[in-house]
Amino acid sequence: MIRVNDTHFDEGAILQEMQYHPAENQRNAMIKASESLIISELIKQRAKALGIKAAVESEDDDDTFSAQLFDREVDMPGASEQDCRLYFDNNREKFCSSPLLAVRHILLAVNSEDELARIEAEDKAKLIIRQLCQDPNQFSVLASLHSDCPSKKTEGQLGQISKGQTVPEFERQLFNCELGLVLQSLPSRYGVHIVFIDQRVEGRPLEFVMVKERISDYLNERVRRKAIAQYIETLIAKADIDGFDFSVSDSPLVQ
């Protein structure tokens, strides 16, 4: 049993909340669920104490009254142009246009849940890569014979690719590859890819004016999260809570 001022949560409420907090074991899931219930209740109680209407009218409208409460009680200063410029100057490597890759591939399609089929596809990919190592000019022929992608009709060509144009798990691997034939197949949710990178054009540094708004949004969100976490800590400190010790949890207060 957990008590938050005059509100009680029994084991059933905690078990129900646990479905939203996957963890490596039941104890950690229970800790996360209990923490979430307590924080939500503290926010709700404070919103009601201030007469925030959404908290009274709807027990399910958590996001609405939470936002109203934070707007009223949490000081969230915005990032100045000087703050944005300082962040830009200290992190210039983050602000470049995306590299461009000219890519060909052969896709051996595999159901993501079929482990045996994936192993077979990887074995087949090794044979194809071995053939390409001996004669790279065979790529278009092998693409037409083996690829399950419509690009097989254009010699496997995917055209110019920049970041954000392919699925994340494929992109992370692709943009770390060297020019030429990639000597190991690249897995994705669609199957196994045999890749040849014909050209790479590196990204160019961006001017401050082009990224100022993005930096401002990032810094403001970082300040917002920190301010809300500190506010929640004050609610916890002032509350009468039994049955839970926040020191057992190492997770951030705000998710």
- For the chain, the structural domain boundaries read 2-80+211-248, 100-201
The pLDDT, as a whole number, for residue 64 is 72
What's the mean pLDDT when you consider all of the chain?
Answer: 90
Condensed to tens digits (0 to 9), the pLDDT of residues 92-141 reads 989 998 899 999 999 999 998 899 999 999 999 999 999 999 999 999 99
Give the pLDDT mean for 246-252.
61
Q: According to the model, what pLDDT value does residue 254 have? A: 44
- According to the model, what pLDDT value does residue 255 have? 46
64-73 contacts at long range (C-beta below 8 A, 24 or more positions apart): 69/43, 70/228, 70/231, 73/46, 73/231
Average pLDDT for residues 216-235, to the nearest whole number?
93
Q: In angstroms, rounded to a whole number, what is the distance separating the alpha carbons of residues 99 and 108?
A: 26
For the chain, the straight-line distance linking the first and the last C-alpha, in angstroms and rounded, comes to 24
Query: Domain 100-201 adopts which CATH fold?
Result: Chitinase A; domain 3 (3.10.50)
Give mean pLDDT, residues 156-183: 93
For residue 250, pLDDT beyond 80: no
Mean pLDDT along residues 61-79: 83
Q: What is the pLDDT of residue 56?
A: 46
**pTM, 2 dp:** 0.60
Residue 224 structure tokens: 């917002």
pLDDT band of residue 247 (cuts 50, 70, 90) is confident
pLDDT at residue 249, rounded to an integer: 56
Cα–Cα distance, 49 to 14 (Å, whole number): 25
Arithmetic mean of pLDDT, 73-96: 92
In sequence order, what are the beta bridge partners of 163? none
pLDDT score of 62: 63
